[in-house]
Amino acid sequence: MKESDAFARDGRPVCGVCPSLRHPGGKFDVVERPSRDCPFDPATGHRFTAAGIPVCVHPERVGLPAAPYASEGLRLPWETPPPSEADEVPAWLRQVLTAAPADACDEVIQQATQILLAADLDADVTAVLRAALG
């Protein structure tokens, strides 16, 4: 994804004022709900932290778990290293693929496949993917 690409360019059901419509993932924070920590600015129609970082208040709509991505320079879910244990792959896959833009999904699935097959050459990768996403 290019730095200039808006995160919600893929049709996510976000609000019309969501920072994900203007900023790439990682350039805005996501919080569980509106609060005094990210007040609404009537002049711009957006929410910001005290440091001026844009904030999304609907993690379920934007598809990212609540976290201070821009404030603390956190990795986005699909940028986190995959687990080393095969039994941890389904939970990691669910979290990562829920948030990942389409252009990152192939790499995530390849990583999961490698981990699963390294643990068991007879692993049913498709079944693990279905369980993780079902």
Q: How confident is the model over 69-107, as pLDDT tens digits? A: 999 999 998 888 888 888 888 888 888 888 888 888 888
Geometric angle at alpha carbon 58, from 57 and 61, rounded to 5°: 155
CA distances from 126 to 49, 66, 85, 132, 133 (A): 42, 29, 17, 10, 11
Cβ proximity of 18 and 59 under 8 Å: no
Question: Tokens in use for 11?
Answer: 């049709």
Average pLDDT over residues 62-73: 95
CB 55, CB 27: distance < 8 Å: no
